Each structure stands twice: as structure tokens, then as C-alpha cells.
Amino acid sequence: MHQIVAKALDVIVVERNEPQYTEAFDAVYAVVAEFGEPELADRLFADIPESTPFLLVTKLFDLLAWQTEDNGSAITRTVERWLVESTNPRKVQIALNLEVYPFPDEHEMYRVLSQVAVALPQMADRCQELITARRNR
């Protein structure tokens, strides 16, 4: 794993239970500065070992939204593709746990998450949680 990514993840681990992030935003910005924004989610996924908890990767992706020119839009579109593909359970776990709903259109989200629940039954409960939460907001 790239040293800058490792540092960002380490800072997130330290600060995620604090009332607010202080150093994490700078550490995550350093990731963007080093890697650039094109295909960032795919490149980071490839760089971060599977031994890293998926919720930690999710938090990194959430913080990246504050540090990218498009406010995380490209990352969101990438993880939406991961959901459509549903070929990698770890990618799906990350996508299902971001702080944003996947897909701007709620009907598309329902359709894709219903397909994910069938393709990866271990993710069915989380898919249903997201569908219910979006309906009730």
C-alpha cells in the first residue's frame, strides 16, 4: 500500500471516534494530490489490501468527497458501477456503506440494490436498509 494512503488510513483510525476530524482532511487531501482524481476509487481499491477493514476504506471514500473538485461525484459513480457489476463482495460492501445513497434516481437504486441482494445474498439486509431509509426520508 502506498505510504500516503497508509498514513491517511492511520489518521482516520485515530480520529474517527473524536468529535471532529482535524488531521484527517489534510491526510486525505494528500492522497488526492498524490493520486489525482481520475479513476481514484478504482486505483485506491487496488492499492489498499483486503486486510484493511472495508468500513475504514468507506470512511476514506467519504472523506475524499470533501477533497475532490467534484465533491466525490466520480467516486460515487464508480461505486455505483461496482453495485451494478456485483462481482466483488468487498467493493459492494464499500459501496453500500458510504454516507450517500447510490444513484441519484431512487427507482434505479431500488432496481440495482434488488439485483445486488439476489446476486450477493449476504448483502441483502444492507440493501433493504438503504431502500427503506431512502423511502422514509
Tell whether the model's pLDDT for residue 72 goes beyond 90: yes
Q: What is the mean pLDDT of residues 13-31?
A: 93
Q: What is the pLDDT of residues 91-101, one digit of tens each?
A: 999 999 999 99
Q: What is the pLDDT of residue 136?
A: 86
Q: What is the mean pLDDT of residues 89-110?
A: 96
Q: What is the pLDDT of residues 2-13, one digit of tens each?
A: 999 999 999 999
Backbone angles phi, psi at 9, to 5 degrees: -65, -40
Query: Which own/partner contact pairs does 54-57 have at CB distance under 8 Å and 24+ positions apart?
Result: 54/90, 54/93, 54/94, 54/97, 55/97, 56/9, 56/12, 56/13, 57/94
Calpha distance 132→137 (Å, rounded): 9
pTM: 0.94
Radius of gyration of the chain (CA): 15
Q: What is the pLDDT of residue 127?
A: 97
Calpha distance 45→137 (Å, rounded): 30
Q: What is the pLDDT of residues 120-136, one digit of tens each?
A: 999 999 999 999 999 88
